[in-house]
Amino acid sequence: MSTPTFRFAPSPNGRLHLGHAYSALLNEKMAREAGGRFLLRIEDIDTLRCTPELTQAMLADLAWLGLNWEEPVLRQSEHLADYRKAQRRLKDLGLLYPCFCSRQDIVRQAGNDTPRDPEGQPLYPGTCRQMAKEERETRLARGDACAWRIDMKRALAGLDEPLVFIEESSGTAVSERAHPQDWGDVVLVRKDIATSYHIAVTVDDARQAITHVVRGRDLFQATAIHRLLQRLLDLPTPVYFHHGLIDDSEGRKLSKSLGSRSLGDLREEGVSPAEVRKALGFL
Ligand code: GLU
C-alpha cells in the first residue's frame, strides 16, 4: 500500500482567507490521522496574476498558522515543460483542437437557451472544431493566438468503461460517476498562459503521488475533467474529499468573530493562530 499522501494546493493570486486556512488545516489533520504525508503545492501557472510577493506572503501566512508541510514545496511555474508534454500527448491522440474564438465571440454565439457548464458559462458551440483543416493550418502558421480545447465527444468515444471516482466527504466511500461531458469542449491550454489548471493539477497529483485530494466543494464538478485526463494520460486516480466551503453556512457564524478579512489582516490585528484554529474547529 502506498503512503497516504495529502496536499494543499493554493493559487497565490491574492491573500489567503479563512477558507484556505480551513482547507490547509483539514488536509494536515487528515494526513496526521492517516499516518501519512502532507505536501504543499503552489499553483502559480497564471504568472499574470500570481506574483512572487503573493507567494512569499502565502508561505508566511501558512507558517504563522503553524502548518507543517514536507519540503520541498512544488511550484508549478517551475514545471511548465511537463504540462506541455501532457498537452503534446493529448494532441498526438488527436483530442485537442485550436480555438481562435474570443470570449465575446462565444457569448455572441450563445443564445439564451444555450446549455451551460457547471459554472454557468455557455458551453462552447464547437465553432473551431468544425474549421476546415486548411484554414486551421494557415491560422496556426500565421501565429494567431489560440486556446486548445478537448474534443469531448471524441475523447469519450475512445473509452471502454465508465469514469468513476471515490468521494469520501459523506463519511463513507461513495463511487461517483464522472460526467466530463457536462463541460463540453473545455479549454485545456489557455490562450494567455499556454496551459491550464486542469492539466497542471492532474499531472502534479500524479507526480506527487497524491492518494487523497481534499479540497473545497466548488471543485467537485471539475473532478470529472481530472478523472478523464487521468484516463487519457494513464495516471492514477486519488480518492477525493470535497469539503464544505467556509464562506457559506460556517462562514456566517465565523464572520461575526473573524470576518472576511485575509489571514494577513487578522495577523496584523493581533488575532492569534490559536484563535483562527479554534474558530475553524481545529483545536
Ligand atoms: N489551486 C486551486 C485553488 O486555489 C486548488 C486546486 C486543488 O485543490 O485542486 O483554488
Which CATH number do you get for residue 262? 3.40.50.620
Residue 107: pLDDT over 90: no
34: exposed, middle or buried (Cβ count in 10 Å: 0-12, 13-18, 19+): middle
Residue 256: pLDDT over 70: no
- Say how many domains are in the chain: 1
Residue 23 lies in a domain: yes
Give bridge partners of residue 176 from the DSSP assignment: 165
Residue 83 lies in a domain: no
**CA separation (Å) from 21 to 52, 67, 232?**
20, 9, 33
Residue 188: pLDDT over 90: yes
CA 244 to ligand 1 centroid distance, Å: 14
Closest residue (by CA) to atom 6 of ligand 1?
9
pLDDT of residue 182: 98
pLDDT of residue 252: 56
Residue 265 lies in a domain: yes
Q: What is the DSSP letter of 122?
A: B
pLDDT of residue 37: 98
Residue 55: pLDDT over 90: yes
Q: Give tens-digit pLDDT for 195-209.
A: 999 999 999 999 999
Higher per-residue pLDDT: 232 or 260 = 232
Cis check for the bond before 72: say yes or no (omega within 30 of 0). Answer: yes
CA 229 to ligand 1 centroid distance, Å: 16
SS3 203: helix
- Which stretches does DSSP call E strand in the chain? 5-8, 37-42, 70-75, 96-99, 147-150, 164-167, 174-177, 187-189, 212-216, 239-243
Q: What is the DSSP letter of 236?
A: -
Give bridge partners of residue 6 from the DSSP assignment: 38, 212
43 lines ligand 1 (CB under 6 A): yes
Q: What's the pTM?
A: 0.95
Average pLDDT over residues 182-193: 97
Determine the atom of ligand 1 nearest the C-alpha atom of 222. Answer: 9
37 lines ligand 1 (CB under 6 A): no
- The average confidence (pLDDT) of the chain is 94
What residue type is 20 in one-letter code? Answer: H
242 lines ligand 1 (CB under 6 A): no
Which range of 214-218, 246-250, 261-265 scores highest in mean pLDDT? It is: 214-218
Residue 254: pLDDT over 70: no
Residue 198 lies in a domain: no
201 lines ligand 1 (CB under 6 A): yes
Residue 256 lies in a domain: yes
Average pLDDT over residues 164-177: 98
The residue segments making up the domain with residue 253 are: 1-75+247-283
pLDDT of residue 245: 85
Residue 39 lies in a domain: yes
CA 11 to ligand 1 centroid distance, Å: 6
132: exposed, middle or buried (Cβ count in 10 Å: 0-12, 13-18, 19+): exposed
CA 9 to ligand 1 centroid distance, Å: 5
Asked if 5 and 37 count as a contact pair (C-beta separation under 8 A), the reply is: yes
Residue 26 in grid coordinates: 483539514
Higher per-residue pLDDT: 157 or 279 = 157
Closest residue (by CA) to atom 7 of ligand 1?
9
Q: What is the DSSP letter of 129?
A: G
Residue 221 lies in a domain: no
pLDDT of residue 153: 98
Residue 179 lies in a domain: no
pLDDT of residue 157: 97
Closest residue (by CA) to atom 4 of ligand 1?
10
CA 25 to ligand 1 centroid distance, Å: 15
Question: What is the percent of the chain with per-residue pLDDT over 70, rounded to a whole number?
Answer: 95
Asked if 163 and 240 count as a contact pair (C-beta separation under 8 A), the reply is: no
